[in-house]
């Protein structure tokens, strides 16, 4: 979820027959009769009876920096080669070969569905308001205020809820990157403790954060990191087939381990921020949701590649604690080259991961309904303070929880399940309220099942991940005590 979905305007001009302005912080949907439930194929989700040619917001986008459809496909496919993909063999090993593959495919298909559902919900809200686009944060607010009374009380807090979990998600992703690079540096230098790696990396990461002054520079540096990561993953595939010694066919029925795997899959395969950013900046946003569009094709290819990589990694190296790099032979030059390449690649992409978290915090303050607007100078000062603080916070988290595997599952269960599943399903549930759930109320039950599944993964998955982190912290302290005693 590395891309940033900015809120470009708070006061938006409507594009209907009567020109008007709406404040997206306060607007609600008009009360109009609706004739049918959402379409999974069409660009218009709900069509009122009195509109023969409904307004389509996607035809009125005017992005400042438009991107091509090719870039949309590429940005979704590059999730296959990032640092997160290195934890997929661990997720498969926790669920077992058979169930791990099934869960990976099911989570991938679920994410494809919910990403499209989220875009359709935002497009439907924009259509009814007759504006070109509305962000996830404020679209969530509008949807809740249109829903049943039990959810309306949360409506005004919708932007804050989405922003909070997005910031937490980016903070978690950046912390995973720090843990990953610290572990890689520790393995290359053959240090005994990750603390030495963290101290070594802190200054370079701060310098990287300050030198990346705009998104254009960050994107170019991140592209170089993606190329290095691609070379690194090719070297990993070489080692997968060079000396396989893992497990071929293992079945695991432990529900807690399965929840651990689900959280890891969500963390590695979800791309809400990327999808939102691509949808907003495409000249033809229909590319995202069409039958052979970026989400369907790019998402399906990513699911296939991630499933194959996770299964082959487990088949070749067996059960592992963190990521596949730590299972490579350290006496092989190509293996150490792969670790070094990923170390540099993740370091280059780190500023891109920090950018959304900092910008969301800046926008929350900027768009808050103060009696007097915040000046640009004050926002600049806040950003200059927030950027190093964000980096320091990720290093503090990495120092406190230096375990990549359980921390990835924790972030995936805590943030991604809500942002990718629960919240989009809740939005569709509210937009169809009260009498537009289709035959036999199929959309009501579908979204209710998604919400229940997401909340179970959120509650029990987070609790189990915290338990694993707690056990490993106790184990690490015991090992240090024994080492000092000896």
Mean pLDDT of 168-191: 91
> Which domains, ranges and CATH numbers included, belong to the chain?
11-25+55-485 (1.20.1730)
Residues 6+ apart with CB under 8 A from 301: 77, 80
Phi-psi region of 139 (alpha: psi -120 to 50; beta: other; left: phi over 0): alpha
Whole-prediction pTM: 0.88
**Residue 44: pLDDT over 70:** no
Query: Percentage of residues in the chain with pLDDT exceeding 70?
Result: 85
* Residue whose tokens read 């609600």: 28
**pLDDT value for 45:** 47
Q: What is the pLDDT of residues 114-167, one digit of tens each?
A: 999 999 999 999 888 888 888 899 999 999 999 888 888 888 898 999 999 999
**pLDDT value for 179:** 93
Phi, psi of 375 (to 5 degrees): -75, 155
**Residue 48: pLDDT over 60:** no
* Residue whose tokens read 């487990």: 314
Q: What is the pLDDT of residues 435-469, one digit of tens each?
A: 888 888 899 999 999 999 999 999 999 999 999 99
**Residue 204: pLDDT over 80:** yes
Question: Could you please report the per-residue DSSP string of 175-238?
Answer: HHHHHHHHHHHHHHHT-S-HHHHHHHHHHHHHHHHHH--SHHHHHHHHHHHHHHHHHHHHHHHH
Q: What is the pLDDT of residues 382-407, one digit of tens each?
A: 888 888 999 999 999 999 999 988 99
DSSP 8-state secondary structure symbol assigned to residue 23 = E
* Residue whose tokens read 């503090």: 396
**pLDDT value for 370:** 67
- 61 exposure class (CB count in 10 Å sphere: 0-12, 13-18, 19+): middle
Predicted confidence band at 213 (pLDDT cuts at 50, 70, 90)?
low
Q: How many angstroms separate the CA atoms of 180 and 403, rounded? A: 9
Q: How many angstroms separate the CA atoms of 413 and 463, rounded? A: 9
SS3 13: strand
Alpha-carbon Rg for the chain, nearest whole angstrom, is 23
* Residue whose tokens read 């289709």: 438
Residue 297 CB neighbours (<10 A) = 17
Residue 21 CB neighbours (<10 A) = 11
Per-residue tokens: 115:
């990403």
Per-residue tokens: 326:
């730590």
Q: How many angstroms separate the CA atoms of 184 and 103, rounded? A: 28
* End-to-end Cα spacing for the chain: 45
CA distances from 218 to 30, 197, 213 (A): 41, 24, 8
DSSP 8-state secondary structure symbol assigned to residue 328 = S
For the chain, what is the mean pLDDT?
83
Predicted confidence band at 481 (pLDDT cuts at 50, 70, 90)?
very low
Q: What is the pLDDT of residues 336-361, one digit of tens each?
A: 999 999 889 888 888 878 888 888 88
Q: How many angstroms separate the CA atoms of 29 and 127, rounded? A: 10
Range with the poorest average pLDDT among 182-186, 304-308, 346-350: 346-350
Query: Percentage of residues in the chain with pLDDT exceeding 90?
Result: 31
Q: How far is CA 348 from the centre of its chain?
A: 19
**Residue 482: pLDDT over 50:** no
Beta bridge pairs of residue 13: 21
Q: Which residue has the higher pLDDT, 29 or 448?
A: 448
SS3 368: coil
Residues 6+ apart with CB under 8 A from 138: 7, 24, 25, 158, 159
Helices (H) and strands (E) in the chain, counts: 19, 2
Q: How many angstroms separate the CA atoms of 248 and 56, rounded? A: 51
CB 434 within 8 A of CB 148: yes
């Amino acid at each position: 979820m590395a891309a940033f979905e900015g809120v470009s305007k708070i006061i938006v001009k409507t594009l209907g027959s009567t020109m008007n302005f709406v404040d997206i912080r306060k607007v609600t949907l008009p009360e109009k009769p609706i004739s049918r439930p959402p379409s999974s194929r069409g660009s218009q989700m709900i069509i009122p009876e009195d509109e023969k040619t409904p307004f389509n917001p996607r035809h009125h986008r005017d992005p400042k920096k438009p991107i091509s459809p090719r870039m949309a496909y590429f940005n979704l496919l590059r999730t296959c080669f990032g640092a997160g993909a290195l934890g997929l063999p661990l997720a498969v090993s926790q669920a077992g070969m058979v169930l791990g593959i099934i869960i990976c495919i099911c989570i991938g298909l679920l994410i494809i569905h919910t990403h499209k559902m989220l875009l359709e919900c935002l497009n439907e809200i924009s259509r009814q308001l007759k504006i070109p686009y509305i962000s996830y944060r404020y679209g969530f607010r509008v949807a809740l205020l249109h829903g049943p009374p039990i959810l309306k009380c949360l409506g005004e807090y919708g932007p804050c809820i989405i922003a909070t979990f997005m910031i937490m998600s980016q903070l978690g992703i950046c912390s995973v990157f720090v843990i990953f690079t610290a572990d890689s540096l520790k393995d290359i230098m053959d240090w005994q403790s990750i603390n030495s790696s963290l101290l070594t990396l802190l200054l370079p990461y701060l310098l990287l954060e300050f030198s990346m002054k705009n998104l254009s520079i960050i994107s170019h540096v991140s592209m170089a990191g993606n190329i290095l990561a691609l070379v690194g993953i090719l070297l990993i595939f070489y080692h997968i087939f060079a000396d396989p010694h893992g497990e071929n066919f293992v079945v695991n029925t432990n529900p807690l381990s399965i929840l651990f795997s689900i959280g890891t899959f969500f963390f590695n395969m979800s791309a809400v921020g990327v999808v939102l950013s691509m949808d907003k900046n495409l000249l033809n946003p229909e590319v995202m949701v069409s039958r052979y569009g970026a989400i369907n094709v790019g998402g399906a290819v990513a699911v296939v590649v991630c499933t194959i990589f996770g299964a082959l990694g487990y088949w070749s190296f067996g059960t592992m604690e963190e990521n596949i790099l730590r299972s490579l032979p350290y006496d092989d030059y190509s293996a150490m080259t792969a670790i070094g390449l990923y170390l540099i690649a993740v370091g280059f992409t780190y500023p891109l991961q920090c950018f959304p978290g900092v910008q969301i915090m800046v926008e929350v303050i900027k768009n808050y309904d103060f009696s007097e607007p915040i000046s640009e100078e004050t926002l600049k000062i806040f950003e200059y303070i927030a950027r190093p603080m964000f980096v320091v916070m990720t290093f503090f988290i990495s120092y406190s929880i230096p375990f990549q595997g359980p921390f990835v599952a924790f972030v995936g269960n805590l943030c991604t399940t809500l942002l990718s599943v629960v919240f989009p399903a809740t939005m569709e549930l509210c937009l169809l309220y009260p009498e537009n759930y289709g035959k036999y109320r199929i959309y009501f039950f579908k979204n209710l099942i998604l919400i229940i599944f997401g909340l179970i993964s959120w509650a029990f998955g987070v609790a189990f991940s915290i338990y694993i982190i707690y056990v490993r912290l106790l184990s690490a302290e015991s090992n240090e005590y024994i080492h000092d005693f000896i």
